[in-house]
Structure 1
Amino acid sequence: MVAAALIELKRLHVAQSHGLVDDPSNVVPRSVCWLIPQFFFVGSSEAFTYIGQLDFFLRECPKGMKKMSTGLFSMTHG
């Protein structure tokens, strides 16, 4: 969220400096590469969450629910 807020502040500053704030049809001259930090943080957090949840489902679930819980988790993740 912090990375997204900082990048959005920078985008708004560029839009204001070019006079593009109030016209939605204009394109702000910014590179799409500014989205990489946000995707990196979201991807790494999903990877850590995935590992923790899968470990929980395999170790802590009752024996009769392991297949169902891992199947539901894989379905929601996919």
Structure 2
Amino acid sequence: MNVLEDIKVWGMLPREIAYICFSAVVTLTGLVTVAGLILGLWWMFIGSALGAAVAALLFKLSLHLKEIAYLQFEESRSQVSD
């Protein structure tokens, strides 16, 4: 556990989880959109719109978590050099 904390792996795990969820949401949204087009079911586009909104939020969360991880890394480097 200490080895992982020393190399800051735990700071990147939430970002990776958010990015994997983003990828899954984009894939499923695309499948719902294609199914709606093929089957001609207009109500499936509501799911597509909701999926796009969730994907946008997850992508923004992923970028925010990436920024936090880099800030923590920079803080740890500055503490080591002191």
State the TM-score, normalized to the length of structure 2: 0.53
Structure 1 residue ranges (4+ consecutive) displaced by more than 3 angstroms after TM superposition: none
Q: How many residues align?
A: 53
Other-structure match for 1:33: 49
Identity %: 11
Summarize deviations over 1:21-58 as a string: whole Å, max 9, x none.
Answer: xxxxxxxx835733111011111111111111011123
Contact between 2:26 and 2:55, CA under 8 Å: does it hold in 1?
Answer: yes
State the TM-score, normalized to the length of structure 1: 0.55
Unpaired segments ≥5 residues, structure 1:
19-28, 64-78
Between structures 1 and 2, the one with greater helix share = 2
Unpaired segments ≥5 residues, structure 2:
1-22
Aligned 1:1-78 pairs, distance under 5 A: 1-18=23-40, 30-31=45-46, 33-34=49-50, 35-60=52-77
